[in-house]
A and B are shown apart, each in its own frame.
Chain A
Amino acid sequence: MLERFTDEARWAVTHSQDEARALRAERIEPVHVLLALTREPGRAGQLLRDAGLDHDRLRDAVVRSGPLDADALAAVGIDLDQVRAATEAAFGPGALDRGRRSPSGHIPFADAGKQVLVETVRLVGRRHLGRIDAGHLLFGVLTVADPQVSRLLQQLGVDLDALREQAAGADAA
């Protein structure tokens, strides 16, 4: 299947694993594919950057939306932002929110991550296109409507449906 991907799309798939590894995730989720796409130099990456989704902003939002329950901690007098700031001062950016997985070795796709690839290929199949590019991959991410991605985009003020239409767009018809 990957032989039908353009270089940029293949690059994005490979770098999804790097994004997952950097965030110490157990599996590659749609959000990791999205992070990789924000760095893609072509049309898909540009669409994301134009929508205000540059890599660092998105990554920051991913890290901050992590499982630590800020409201529950605040109820007992702990300011998570302060704890985070102190931890990052000592141990570097993202130190508090990173997962436990050690940063080496192959990381498999989560079911949702695999579903991204399925949707991408499905779109391309419907249109009888030969090559699968990064824009199609972005469409795949946005079609799966993974709850984490949906929540993040809403948080960052991005209209998912509009973005999805644009991603399906340019090569269109």
Chain B
Amino acid sequence: MASPTDVTTAAAADDPDTGLRAIRALRDLADRLEVLQVGNARSRGWSWQQIADALGVSKQAVHKKHATSRRDR
């Protein structure tokens, strides 16, 4: 696996194929971390509004994305 300090792989980010793959991977990673952190916040008593504010999105958006798959709607 390429290491982040490898100059050749950093250069490979100029290639749109790699670059777009990276965007997709970043999104997947962000999605997974979001699920974990929203759950974390909810378990600490954060309101949906507080979570939305921290994420910079509307309360409706975060509720729609996360509340339907959780029991603590």
Q: Which residues of A does B touch, CB under 8 Å?
A: 67-80, 83, 87, 90-91, 95-97, 100, 102
Contact = CB atoms under 8 A, between A and B. Distances in A.
The 7 A-B residue pairs whose C-beta atoms are closest, nearest first, are A72-B21, A69-B25, A72-B25, A74-B2, A72-B22, A76-B22, A77-B4
B69 A73 contact: no
Given A87-B36, A100-B35, A73 B10 contact: no
Most B C-beta atoms less than 10 A away, residue of A68, A71, A76, A78: A76
Given A90-B40, A96-B33, A102-B71, 8 more contacts: A68-B25, A71-B2, A74-B3, A75-B12, A76-B13, A77-B4, A83-B29, A87-B33
A75 B22 contact: yes
A69 B28 contact: yes
Nearest to B71: A102
Contacts of A95: 36
B22 A68 contact: no
Nearest to B21: A72
Chain B interface extent, by class: 20 to 34
B18 interface: yes
B73 interface: no
Interface of B: 1-4, 6, 9-10, 12-13, 18-19, 21-22, 24-26, 28-29, 32-33, 35-36, 40, 69-71
A67 B36 CA distance: 17
B69 to A, nearest CB: 6
Contacts of B28: 67-69
A70 B1 contact: yes
Contacts of B36: 87, 90-91, 95-96
Contacts of A78: 4, 26, 29
A70 B2 CA distance: 8
A39 B26 CA distance: 35
A77 B10 contact: yes
Contact of B4 (A68, A79, A90, A96): A79
